[in-house]
Structure 1
Amino acid sequence: MKNITTKEVTTQAFDDQKPGTSGLRKKVTQFQQVGYLENFVQAVFNTIAPCAGKSLVLGGDGRFYNREAIQVIIRMAIANGFSHILVGKGGILSTPAASCVIRKHQTCGGIILSASHNPGGPDEDFGIKFNGENGGPAPEKLTDEIFQQTLSITHYQTIDAEDVELDQLGTLQIAQTQIEIIDPVIDYADLMESMFDFDAMKSLFKQGDFQLCFDAMHAVNGPYAKEILERRLGAPAGTVINGVPLTDFGGGHPDPNLVHAHELVNLLHGEDALDFGAASDGDGDRNMVLGKNFYINPCDSLAILTANADCIPAYSKGISGVARSMPTSRAVDRVATAMNIPCYETPTGWKFFGNLLDAGKITLCGEESFGTGSDHVREKDGLWAVLFWLNLIAVKKQPVSNIVRNHWAKYGRDYFTRHDYEAVDSGDAQEMIRQLKEKIPSLPGQIFSGSQSAGLTIESADDFQYIDPVDNSKTTEQGVRVYLNNGGRIVFRLSGTGTQGATLRVYLDCYQNNPDLFEQDTQEALSELIQVADTLAGIKRFTGREKPDVIT
């Protein structure tokens, strides 16, 4: 194309574009406001400027407004001087695959369009975030700078140009910019094949008696799972269900938990249950893994993968350390102690693992919210976790339930649950947390004497803060932690991943080393803590809810 002229478009700043733990998430209708998407993108480009001569990765999870947003960003990237834009075919790139492409092609970073596990559709959620040259989410310092840019922005840059054809591999030159439409799967699939023992996993399917189902939930990981599980590993056709990405995720909620992945859960229960099942979320970075009539808690999953890392080719020479988000149970801490490796406790948000990974302090990391990953990329990685488990099953030649129970026998069991109260009035939720924080100094020594909690005493309490061991940056007010004398812990925090109201998350965990009590129902095992949590914070009073909306 010739005679491309950059336009400077006058705009009005918005005051609600502060990125949360995983970028900016709002309703589609908010992003469709005149200048809303453009303002945020220009704020990103202003923050990382100069953009001239740089390369950028661009893609998303395929949700509603994904394709339209990509066209807007391409035109703006050209106007801002980028020399090379790598775009996933069809506008598709899973979040871990985007991180992989950023790292492999050594770009200055990438823009990922996703609201992760939130619903999609014309009236649902959309999101955007910037990942840096290491492939990981922008650190707080950078997102703070982006937010400041959004508050003072007066114009954005773009060009007049026709939409780019996204469904055909190849390159296109517009002005100084080469736009390359890339296969969104190949780089990631090749990376996975280099890390795991694909021959061992192939043997599971050659025997013909191992039954697997992967539920892609009509989200981004469908094409990735089909390529890796069915084509490269030889799993039967149809192993991947709901494998076509849809703009509204087929009307479902692309959150891989026991509530929303009910189709998969049903296949893993009963007399004819499958041997192994897994699901991933909207943008492919989360995972849920299930055995035959057996649920694997994400906290246990991180601990078990850490304990068995030497079974995987990529980690056979050992791992440098491990990290978990603060609300995640302390199961992995016990493994790290036994392995004599460091274990770091970070705030919620994958970006906090980035410094530790880049500095070589950790190899594996994870969150209770169905996210696990390693130093191969700088995002949590749903399909990677599934392949890790498959590799483990192939090497140990044991069913999932045996692997988990053997782990408990060695390390004890950390019972864990998370209670989510969704779309709670923000004012009420914030007032509840404010009052709870005021109580912190007086909590130690308090004794609870309810019907199920007689004799439970609070040993300590605090509002979690984190000092990064790499750059000494400080992050405060990350959740109220309460420790009790039975080895239990309660964490209260408000989530930053929703788009309306507030989501109150209450995390409860308790260590158990009596083998006779390893098979308790989780909610029953934690019933004392559940009662204490409500009494302590006044959950029913502030939320108006008799029970959580989601229990995981």
Structure 2
Amino acid sequence: MIQTVSTKPFDDQKPGTSGLRKKVRIFQQAHYAENFVQSVFDSLEGYEGQTLVVGGDGRYLNREVIQIVLKMAAANGFGRVLVGKGGILSTPAASHLIRSSGAFGGLVLSASHNPGGPDEDFGIKYNVSNGGPAPEKVTDAIHARTLAIQSYRILAAPDVDIDAIGTSRLGGMTVEVVDPVTGYADLMETLFDFAAIRAMIAGRFALSFDSMSAVTGPYAVEIFERRLGAPAGTVRNATPLPDFGHHHPDPNLVHAKELYDRMMAADAPDFGAASDGDGDRNLIIGKHCYVTPSDSLAVLAANAHLAPGYAKGLKGIARSMPTSGAADRVAEKLGIPLYETPTGWKFFGNLLDAGMATICGEESAGTGSDHVREKDGIWAVLLWLNILAVRRQSVAQIMADHWATYGRNYYARHDYEGIAKDRADALMAALRGKIRDLPGFATILGTVVQADDFAYTDPTDASTSSAQGVRILFDDGSRIVFRLSGTGTEGATLRVYLERFLGPDGKLDMETGAALFRVIESAERIADIEAFTGMNAPSVIT
């Protein structure tokens, strides 16, 4: 029986760059998850009888919210729901399933790289029919509906068994529980030379992949151990856990320190990698060689032609504005366009759909291509392995060759976390107030030659996005970017992006902190970070 349940709006359900993320206890409030799901459905048109994909990263509350979604989808008129077995679907696998099944869209239940557990984070994101995150016009409509909602529809029915592959009925709707791994793994085999990678691994090439007790464990075991022949145990922390085994599943040098230490040891494997909570981010570390996400994007773009799926070349490269300019020089040499977009994968989706870009990346450890409409951690690892198998060089050798060809963008991101929102907003407001007067301002780094608040006009539909971050450019080619992150659930996070470029004839083997010393000092002086935040050092450096 379909029930119509009276409710009242919540005033905190505005989706961010990757959906709605809140603490678990917020989502556990009566009607909270139901209100948001109904607001998503109310903001869509033409879904009656259509297919919806549902799955998540296995974090705490994932299974319970899936049951709510299934019953609400049945009550709202969907014809079929595809759900990953056990409620599991990595974000890139969900994108692929939406695209391969011709689904109307999908609900991805994840807070990405945020911690999981009863006192931690949960999230819901709506993806459209191209498999990518909903564009701003859709998320704006969803938010408007959350402020006006008065009721939601839900089917009164027992829970669906989501642990057995097969088909069942829920009211007038079909529920199909599917294998969450095989289809995605099959897609990877069409893009990369698995035979070459398998031969490299058989030749005593050692790798280590850390799934961080998150969603990529089953995918990594299937691909790296079963299909590519890596020894059992190559994939560490391979079982997805509701609290990620108390890990913070963000693949950076702070939260993946165990992997970093392993790769810096005397007996390190040849290649190390990690992925995050929902499988869309990646960390790449060679033996004694950490690769920044910005450099990884540039190297992958420069060498993508070595993989069968990209042998015909790239149509273009896209990067988020805070990402370093390393990929720009690759695009210039390849004679292809480089697109600079705001942060958020949805901005890449239009370029990919229009055939204007092939590979995209963000400094926040997200890289992907036109095979799906999400960033994809395992995809990035496989492309690296394909390059290593063809070039027969170490990661360190490939990086040295790349810098000798293109120069090096020394780059770091400093995160100041848990700032009171009013203080963070005041800092950004003060920066924006200085923009007009900054050109000509002298610092220990040099003179500011340009300052702006980044705005973007989408070349595919002329839509605009403003106030995307304050950029400051110096006369020596250095750059500082300030923006507030939209991925946290408590307080605000100030992100400061620091960049210094040296050409192929410059000193390319400096320690990053030493290379960026003057950039860091200039950022503090310009923004008065300590005065606004009370913090004399960043929470995290990546």
TM-score interval for Structure 1 and Structure 2 normalised by the shorter chain:
over 0.9
Alignment-derived partner of residue 528 in structure 1: 518
Q: Which residues in structure 2 correspond to 1:131-280 (within 5 Å)?
A: 131-207=127-203, 209-280=204-275
**How far apart are 1:270 and its partner, in Å?**
2.0
Of 414, 423, 435, which residue of structure 2 is paired with 1:440?
435
Alignment-derived partner of residue 35 in structure 1: 31
Unaligned runs of 5+ in 1: none
2:126 partner letter = F
CA distance in 1, matches of 2:426, 2:197: 51
Of 75, 78, 81, which residue of structure 1 is paired with 2:77?
81
Mapped pair 1:548 → 2:534? no
Mapped pair 1:94 → 2:84? no
Alignment-derived partner of residue 421 in structure 1: 416
1:152 alignment partner, SS class: coil
CA distance in 2, matches of 1:48, 1:199: 44
* Post-superposition CA distance 1:211-244 (Å, at most 9, x none): 1000000000000000000000000000000000
CA distance in 1, matches of 2:100, 2:46: 22
* Post-superposition CA distance 1:496-524 (Å, at most 9, x none): 00000000000011110154511101111
Alignment-derived partner of residue 13 in structure 1: 9
1:7 partner letter = Q
Alignment-derived partner of residue 484 in structure 1: 474
**How far apart are 1:279 and its partner, in Å?**
0.2
Mapped pair 1:403 → 2:363? no
Alignment-derived partner of residue 373 in structure 2: 378
CA distance in 2, matches of 1:532, 1:263: 32
* Post-superposition CA distance 1:13-68 (Å, at most 9, x none): 01110100000000000001111100000011111134321100000000000000
Of 113, 119, 123, which residue of structure 2 is paired with 1:123?
119
1:470 partner letter = T
CA distance in 1, matches of 2:306, 2:46: 45
Unaligned runs of 5+ in 2: none
Q: Which range is displaced more, 380-389 or 174-183? A: 174-183
CA distance in 2, matches of 1:495, 1:353: 18
CA distance in 2, matches of 1:15, 1:192: 42
Query: In the alignment, is the contact (CA less than 8 A) between 1:346 and 1:352 conserved in 2?
Result: yes
**How far apart are 1:88 and its partner, in Å?**
0.3
Alignment-derived partner of residue 355 in structure 1: 350
Q: TM-score, normalised by structure 2?
A: 0.99
CA distance in 2, matches of 1:190, 1:330: 33
* Post-superposition CA distance 1:336-373 (Å, at most 9, x none): 01111000000000000000000000000000000000
CA distance in 2, matches of 1:335, 1:516: 18
Alignment-derived partner of residue 390 in structure 1: 385
CA distance in 2, matches of 1:211, 1:187: 26
1:210 partner letter = F
Alignment-derived partner of residue 19 in structure 2: 23
Alignment-derived partner of residue 305 in structure 1: 300
Query: In the alignment, is the contact (CA less than 8 A) between 2:408 and 2:508 conserved in 1?
Result: yes
RMSD (Å), alpha carbons: 0.7
CA distance in 2, matches of 1:108, 1:241: 35
Mapped pair 1:106 → 2:122? no
1:408 partner letter = W
Query: In the alignment, is the contact (CA less than 8 A) between 2:82 and 2:177 conserved in 1?
Result: yes
Query: In the alignment, is the contact (CA less than 8 A) between 1:51 and 1:80 conserved in 2?
Result: no
Q: Which range is displaced more, 228-237 or 512-521? A: 512-521
Query: In the alignment, is the contact (CA less than 8 A) between 1:444 and 1:461 conserved in 2?
Result: yes
2:318 alignment partner, SS class: strand
CA distance in 2, matches of 1:254, 1:175: 37
